[in-house]
Amino acid sequence: MADFHDSPVVPPRLADRAKARFRLKVSLGEAGVCLLVVNLFVMAGLFWKIEVNKPPVIATVSVTQLSRIYGQQFAADPSNTPEMIQLKTRIFLATTEKLLAQSAKQKGMVVFARECVLTGDSLDLTPQVSGAVDQALKSGALSMGGTGNAALNLAQ
């Protein structure tokens, strides 16, 4: 005998079948490991972004002071001929320019003339530039056909 209280057999719906077929069984430990890995990737990405967008180091050089020192030094020596003064000036300018370019490129610095910086703390490269120029002038690096790398390495 058929009982009216029995529910008729209804075929399962398509959505219910899909849920049953693709049901993932993940333990709490596996979910925690997955979240930890995702967190590590996010932290690595943030750390990389911070390192890439690091503000440059601001450095200054007293151009007036350097020019005054070497101008007086060149003019005070009576044995300097105009050609010698021209050669020493080229060495001075080339050494200064190369040292500042290397500092900007290798060390990520932005170099300003000290006279242009109004406020703030900045690294002063004047003694390093002065030492490199002195070394280049003593060795005559540019007059010998060299590039002055020995003098530039001294300042690093």
Average pLDDT value for residue range 71-90:
82
Q: What's the CA angle centered on 55, arms 62 and 121, to 5 degrees?
A: 40
Please give the pLDDT value at position 78.
81
**Comparing 151 with 98, which gets the higher pLDDT?**
98
Q: 28 vs 23, 35, 37, 39, CA distance in Å?
A: 16, 11, 14, 16
Place of tokens 């057999």: 9
* Radius of gyration for the alpha carbons in the chain, expressed in angstroms and rounded: 36
Length of the chain equals 156
Q: Give CA–CA dist 99/102, Å, rounded.
A: 5
| Phi, psi (rounded to 5 degrees) for 61 | -135, 135
Here the tokens at position 77 are 């020596």
**Comparing 13 with 63, which gets the higher pLDDT?**
63
| Phi, psi (rounded to 5 degrees) for 128 | -65, -40
Contact by Cβ (8 Å): 66, 133: yes
pTM exceeding 0.75 = no
Residues 4-56 have pLDDT tens digits of 555 555 555 665 665 666 667 778 888 899 999 999 999 999 998 888 877 77
The DSSP output letter for 119 is: S
